[in-house]
Chain A
């Protein structure tokens, strides 16, 4: 009740375009809401982390339902949005299992995707007025 007094809540559908944009391009949701500094930081953090993951020979996992952990890892990585699909199209992220940094690499990619999901939810909450 107190939160409603502080911020004006808008319909849940009002946040959908912002959430989709935030998923596709890290930080774009916050940019649409006029939070330029945050948007730029989120973009640099998420894409930087994802790029570093690929540089460390990380793997972009397939959505293989026969392997539950692989499926979940793939789902988390898709959270990065367009950079994930761009990397796939460019043939990156095949993963080099024998590389010393392989585990670090895919951890960076997975965490980048999960962070972008949190950022997307934050943008959605701001867009619908649940958060200032």
Chain B
């Protein structure tokens, strides 16, 4: 498995799930928090990725 985006998505999904269950008690709050954390993980990766785009590899 060398698809970087897939690995990133799996990582974000697993960590968001654990954080949601640890930080929220109510199932509805857990779902909301989990989705928000997941989107923030992916969103920040995209933003940082584009910020690094001008730099040579």
Contacts and interface: CB of A to CB of B under 8 A. Distances in A.
B1 A101 contact: yes
B40 interface: no
Main SS class of interface, A: helix
A108 B18 contact: no
B44 to A, nearest CB: 16
Interface in B3-38: 7, 10-11, 14-15, 17-18, 21-22, 25
A57 B18 CA distance: 23
Interface stretch (A1-9, A10-18, A45-53, A87-95): A45-53
29 contacts: A38-B21, A41-B17, A41-B18, A41-B21, A42-B18, A42-B21, A45-B14, A45-B17, A45-B18, A49-B14, A52-B10, A55-B1, A56-B1, A56-B7, A101-B1, A101-B2, A101-B7, A104-B7, A107-B11, A108-B11, A111-B11, A111-B15, A115-B18, A118-B18, A118-B22, A119-B18, A119-B22, A122-B22, A132-B25
